């Protein structure tokens, strides 16, 4: 799957977002080494702390389907003018399973940037940190 196709899958998730408070839909598409793609959207809650981001939705879907390793890239797509980067909590969740993940951050125009997760979360804390 190309980077452009992965970003397109992330944008397609906007239609499923539940965003009655921020009105800012975000979609994510997580690519696994075996070619499977797990998608997610943000789901807001009146108790704001219970809101879940698109990236974490995709992560939970992948893990719950038995895919815990081999992740190669995640696309994150918002509708704003700025690139839609994962929040800190999402960066930590991604690092748990794929510290070498490629992160594709897209903005509303469809343009995107690609950086390694290690650049977004330098000196990350993960399973190896507990050894």
Catalytic residues, by residue number, are 55
Residue 117 tokens read as 């997760």
Rounded to whole angstroms, the Cα distance separating 121 from 74 reads 15
The single residue listed with the structure tokens 């998730």 is 13
> What's the CA gap between 20 and 9, in Å, rounded?
22
């Amino acid at each position: 799957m190309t980077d452009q196709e992965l970003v397109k899958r992330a944008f397609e998730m906007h239609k499923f977002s539940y965003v009655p408070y921020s009105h800012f839909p975000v979609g994510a598409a997580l690519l696994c080494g075996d070619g499977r793609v797990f998608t997610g959207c943000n789901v807001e809650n009146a108790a704001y702390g219970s809101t879940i981001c698109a990236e974490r939705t995709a992560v939970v879907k992948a893990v719950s389907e038995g895919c815990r390793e081999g992740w190669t890239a995640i696309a994150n797509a918002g509708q704003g003018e700025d690139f839609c980067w994962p929040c800190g909590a999402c960066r930590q969740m991604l690092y748990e399973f794929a510290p070498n993940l490629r992160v594709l951050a897209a903005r509303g125009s469809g343009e995107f940037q690609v950086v390694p997760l290690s650049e977004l979360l330098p000196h990350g804390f993960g399973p190896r940190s507990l050894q």
